[in-house]
Amino acid sequence: MSDFYDALETRDPAAREAALMAALPGVVAQAQAHSSAAAELLAGVDPREVSSREALARLPVLRKSELLQRQRERRHGDPFGGFSAIGWTGLPRPRGARRVFQSPGPLYEPEGTAPDWWRTARALYAAGFRSGDLLHNSFSYHLTPAGSIMECGAHALGCAVFAGGVGNTELQLQAIAELRPQGYVGTPSFLKILLERAAEQDLPLPGFGKALVSGEACPPSLQAFFAGRGVQAYQCYATADLGLIAYETPARQGLVVDEGVIVEIVQPGTGEPVAEGEIGEVVVTTLNPDYPLIRFGTGDLSAVLPGRCPSGRSNVRLRGWLGRADQATKVRGMFVHPGQLAQLAQRHPGLGRLRLVVSGEPAAERLLLRAEAQEQGEGLAQQLAASVREVTKLRAEVELCAPGSLPNDGKVIEDGRRYD
């Protein structure tokens, strides 16, 4: 039996990149033709010219807040705000939807009819699931798409599914003991509860040996806890908007990017790609024609790991979740956000990393702009202080730092205020 879900996972990286870039113009054209929101956002863009990462990086980043705003504005005519290319009777796109979900906001997400619409079979396979297995699914089937995201992938893989959903711990534990599934999908915290409860009751769980977890952090210590109880747990990174983005392999060295998306790591607030290894926001373009999200900003921070995965998969790897890119904070009644730091960088070319440090107590905050610069003169510091006031309407001190001295952690606003 192969260690890989398909040949795409081990293809030459150059061949993969060529295939993705060859598909990109068609993705943009499809979005413009069948998604009225994308047509507005990409007005004037010639899809034939979007055939490289450089061209892709010139397109605007779509924020979830913008997606939600457009849905709210158009809710009575189109609950998807013009982003979906599928729907049902009465909508601009009257066919193609199999299910629809509601995430907090409320934000509506469609599901189409294609097999493995969310592309999670690949992650399940890497976690050890195989055709014929019974999978215990403890993700929610109610309102949000998490349960369906995993179930679609399981069915595409040939697995049977027990639709456990969330809660009802004792009933779910009874089902695991009696149905004897080969593995679990759900949050790591609920898997921990199930295993601890089984131990308390001295309840054997024969054959229950693998898991794909998501929705929460699963650090090595928790993976070791699971392994100590006979369960090998792997992580995947997926969202209700995009489906699978990346997944863990038996190598346990980062998360391998899925074959059906184009991932960029960009500077928070600017949308400009960072150098390989630098921490930035994960921005994803999906190749899904039913819900064509182009340069969708996840709001998550991560970085690309160098080299290939030891498992033999050749796609790029992410370090995993490293925090949130939206570092906006309120200072003296004024919001300060990463985009304003990007404006400072544009005003003063040649600067390296920037970090605005907020300290002190609420209503008596101190702002300090730390800026990497070759030039260390007082004149530059004064110019930067003036720019901070013009851009943020707040006064700040300036500290010039040596190039490369600020942390590579993706953070541009550091809130160190005391609230005690």
Convert the pLDDT of each residue in 216-240 to its tens digit.
888 899 999 999 999 999 999 999 9
For tokens 């399940």, the residue is 124
How many Å apart are CA 94 and CA 317, to the nearest integer?
Answer: 38
Mention every residue, 6+ apart, whose C-beta is less than 8 A from residue 351.
344, 345, 371, 372, 373
Asked which of 214-223, 262-271, 305-314, 406-415 is least confident by mean pLDDT, the reply is 406-415
Peptide bond between residue 79 and the one before it cis (omega within 30 degrees of 0): no
Q: Reply yes or no on whether the pLDDT at 98 is more than 70.
A: yes
Least confident of 155-169, 267-281, 297-311: 267-281
Question: Is 259's pLDDT higher than 70?
Answer: yes
Residue 418: predicted pLDDT: 66
What is the pTM assigned to this prediction?
0.83
The residue written with tokens 């040939």 in the block is 158
Q: For the chain, give me the number of helices (H) and strands (E)?
A: 11, 21
Judged against a pLDDT cut of 90, whether residue 335 lies above it is answered with no
Q: Which residues contact 248 (CB under 8 A, 6 or more apart)?
A: 123, 126, 127, 234, 235, 236, 254, 255, 256
Percent of the chain's residues with pLDDT above 70: 97
Give the number of other CB atoms < 10 A from CB of residue 29.
17
- Length of the chain equals 420
Instruction: Say how far apart CA 241 and CA 227 lie, in whole Å.
Output: 31
Q: Which residue has the tokens 């921490």?
A: 279
Q: What is the pLDDT of residues 36-91, one digit of tens each?
A: 999 999 999 999 999 999 999 999 999 888 999 999 999 889 999 999 999 999 99
Structural domains for the chain: 329-415 (3.30.300.30)
With residue 203 as reference, give the H or E element that holds it.
Answer: none
pLDDT the model gives residue 80 = 96
